[in-house]
Amino acid sequence: MPHFIEVSHPIEPGMTTYPDLPEPYAEVLVDYEMSRSHYQNQAEFLIASLHLCGNTGTYVDSPLHRFPGATDLAGLPLDRLAHLPAVCVDATGQEGRNIGPELFRGSNLRNRAVLIRSDWSVHWRTPHYFDSHPFLTAEACDLLLENGVLFVGIDSLNIDDIQDPTRPAHTKLLGAGIPICEHMTNLAAVPHEGGFLHAVPIAWKGGASFPVRAYVIDRL
């Protein structure tokens, strides 16, 4: 039987993903009691809406997130989002916040999703999550691109240092058409190699970023 490893956070009304972005909220449109009479007391249903910013929970960025007129969520090919051979790289032993190219040397990265485990996700839903988070350097992104990666994810607040307004990781990776996934979790459970990542957002025309229920299959 396949073994599924959840690597995304659940979305809850009122949660904060990133400072100053709106929090999600839910609205019940039809509840069980309201619907019962419509079905002659033989069935009942719940219909609700969820209002959220595209950058909520664990989400994928398309190139449109960084570049006007670039590929949007609907334009991302599924072979960049689903059943991707995954390499999970352990950055927990790194000194400092910046994750450089040396971490990836020696790994087979070509045509793979690269998941960067920092374990920063242990701070999720706490104030510390927004301070001094790990991030990917421009040089690391250059190495990933040279090695032909198809997708890059990280279990941190941002793949870039939020104090750096140039956002080199977003610029380089999205500029090369590589989807980015931020705010991942549970990467300690993902094997270094052998797993397959699924992280598919909705096909939103004109959408730049959207949450995913990301998971890794580590046994087929």
Full domain range(s) for residue 200? 3-15+53-219
Residue 180 pLDDT grade (very low, low, confident, very high; cuts 50, 70, 90)? very high
Q: Are the CB atoms for 73 and 204 separated by under 8 Å?
A: yes
Give domain status of residue 33, yes or no. Answer: no
Mean confidence (pLDDT) of the chain: 97
Cα angle vertex 90, ends 148, 210, to 5°? 65
Give domain status of residue 130, yes or no. Answer: yes
Residue 37 pLDDT grade (very low, low, confident, very high; cuts 50, 70, 90)? very high
Residue 192 has pLDDT above 90, yes or no: yes
Question: pLDDT tens for residues 82-113?
Answer: 999 999 999 999 889 999 999 999 999 999 99
Give domain status of residue 169, yes or no. Answer: yes
Give domain status of residue 67, yes or no. Answer: yes
Residue-level pLDDT at 220: 59
Q: Residue holding tokens 């090369």?
A: 176
The total domain count for the chain is 1
Q: Give me the mean pLDDT over the 170-180 stretch.
A: 98
Residue-level pLDDT at 94: 87
Instruction: Give the DSSP letter of residue 143.
Output: H
Q: Give me the mean pLDDT over the 119-135 stretch.
A: 97
Give domain status of residue 185, yes or no. Answer: yes
The CATH number of the domain holding residue 58 is 3.50.30.50
pLDDT over 70, % of the chain: 100
